[in-house]
A and B are shown apart, each in its own frame.
Chain A
Amino acid sequence: MTETNDMPQTTPKTGDNAAAIPALAVRNLAVHFGKNKVLKDVTIDIAAQAVTAIIGPSGCGKSTFLRALNRMHELNPDAHMDGDIRLFGDDIYARHVEPVVVRRRVGMVFQKSNPFPTMSIAENVTVGLRLNGMKDKKLLAGRIEQSLQMAALWDEVKDRLNAPAISLSGGQQQRLCIARALAVKPEVLLMDEPASALDPLATQKIEDLIIDLKKEYTIVIVTHNMQQAARISDFTAFFYLGELVEFDRTKKIFTNPARKQTEDYVTGRFG
């Protein structure tokens, strides 16, 4: 009985960031698609400039949770959301806030790399800026290098920026997608299993990159790979059946979780 009473810890002590305002403050988030309830009453604070991993078995609602953070779930016309999400204090679901604006502040990288096939490497990086009206060639050129540097892709592609994006390897394409997301300078980067379709070497590059990026960005990453969560994240949230079961420092989740369910999952006993 004591177990059910102790609520998931929503604001873990974060040391340096303890006093800082959370990048994303989620309160009582519930999402359903038609009659299908996918997320129930999720309350969580996501720390800025840290990596937060979302783990849980398939269908537990982790992708939906991620997509609610930049309102991508609204692409499904049956989606309905309750609760409150604040991005550095701003209500992203406030009536006058357009999803387009939210998504410029909260970028996203998908499981399957999806560079635009009609565009070159450089064009892919700048597409978010250009289609939002930026025309300054110098600025765009600078942003190409900067973003590709940040995505650890610059050295591999600097001699062929005008080559088609889809001529890159799978791992390079995914880093290009990361560069594309970074180019619009989001505050938060959401990653939905960004390395699950890649080989171990490419995966490692992405992981190194994520650790690097957290110096400047807040990263929320959904992963099926428990070792990956343990390797790269500072905080881990375990979702099960649409509920947030436990949220704490990654170290605690993987060594001494408060809930039996969490322990069973991270030790591979179910899921």
Chain B
Amino acid sequence: MTASNHHWRQFKNLFMQGLTLVCAVLVVLPLLLVFFHLVKEGFGALNWNFFTKLPKAVGEPGGGMANAIAGTFILLGQAALVGVPVGVLGGVYLSEYGSSKLNWWLRFAADILNGVPSITWGIVVYALMVVPMRGPSALAGGVVLGLMMIPLVMRTTEEVLQLVPAGYREAAFALGIPQWKTIVQIVLRTALKGIVTGVLLALARVAGETAPLLFTAFGNLGWAHSLKEPIAALPLQIFNYAISPYDDWHRQAWAGALVLLLLVLVINVSVRFLTRDRFGKRQ
């Protein structure tokens, strides 16, 4: 209980506080590094052509990644069609219906699926879709991304549904409202913000996937005219351009990476916007 003891404790306290602050900054630092580097290298190659033109042959000036940008959106749209309904309804089952024993296994399976390397997903869909369909296709690319979304969406849906206080369910049941209507109109509505957030974050996560698309969507230097054709995607195009020996393509790869990062950023920001509930910000 001496004065020096007090100073020593104060010092330890300050030291630990400083240490955690340094680590917190270290979390943000990589994001800033990535962002500034991409802006520095890629911004110069960003222009109207980049968003509207198809890739040109090496050496020809101009050209863009319109096909890859559109392709990424098409793939994400398909992925959402596969991943969102299955994921959300699966999450509803886990949270609202399932028995604890079955739930344990379902959660276990979902967690394992979340950890499956993305290239493994690619191989599986390659064997199940690409081989029987005799070639890579946009469809296969959408399906593989959708499959990857399912466990992500399912777990986040379950988590946010669990956050809905049991009192709301009880209140609805006590009014004689059937369970499925309670789930749709009360529970899901209350948790909508969280579910949309989960879905968008899952989309952001698969938007950057490259490995599973290598042998499913495959990539395409032109437009895909149907979902049965190979389709371009930003990550694929970045990959192909980055490993090429041409400076021109390298610049375009940087620009593509910047666009991809901005896309993910936009998704994250819109999460915050879209999900403000109709009574304004309160939560």
A residues adjacent to B (C-beta < 8 A): 70, 72, 75, 77, 99-105, 107-108, 110, 112, 114, 116-118, 127-128, 131-132, 164, 166-167, 177, 180-181, 184
Contact = CB atoms under 8 A, between A and B. Distances in A.
B175 A103 contact: yes
B167 A101 contact: no
A110 B169 CA distance: 12
Given A110-B167, A131-B181, A131-B185, A118 B174 contact: no
Interface residues of B, number: 25
Contacts of A103: 173-176
B98 to A, nearest CB: 11
Contacts of B171: 110, 114, 116, 177, 180
A110 B172 CA distance: 12
A116 B44 CA distance: 52
A75 B182 CA distance: 13
Given A107-B174, A128-B175, A164 B279 contact: yes
Interface string B184-221: 01100110100000000000000000000000000000
B176 to A, nearest CB: 3
B78 to A, nearest CB: 30
B177 A128 contact: yes
B160 to A, nearest CB: 14
B111 interface: no
A184 B282 CA distance: 30
Interface in B260-283: 277-279, 282
B189 A118 contact: yes
A220 B186 CA distance: 27
A70 B99 CA distance: 24
Nearest to B191: A118
Given A128-B176, A128-B177, A164-B279, A114 B190 contact: no
Nearest to B179: A100
B183 to A, nearest CB: 11
17 contacts: A72-B170, A72-B174, A75-B169, A75-B173, A77-B99, A110-B171, A118-B186, A118-B189, A127-B172, A128-B177, A131-B175, A131-B178, A131-B181, A131-B182, A167-B279, A180-B171, A181-B175
A164 B181 CA distance: 21
A114 B168 contact: yes
Contact of B168 (A77, A116, A164, A181): A116
B121 to A, nearest CB: 36
Contact of A132 (B168, B173, B176): B176
Contact of A127 (B99, B169, B175): B175
B174 A100 contact: no
Q: Which of B169, B170, B178, B277 has the most C-beta atoms of chain A within 10 angstroms of its own C-beta? A: B170
Contact of A107 (B170, B175, B277): B175
Contacts of A114: 165, 167-168, 170-171
B59 to A, nearest CB: 58
A75 B169 CA distance: 10
Contacts of B173: 72, 75, 99, 103
Nearest to A177: B171
B176 A104 contact: yes
A104 B175 contact: yes
Nearest to A130: B185
Given A127-B172, A166-B282, 12 more contacts: A77-B99, A103-B175, A108-B170, A110-B174, A114-B165, A116-B190, A118-B189, A118-B192, A127-B186, A131-B178, A180-B171, A181-B175
A135 to B, nearest CB: 14
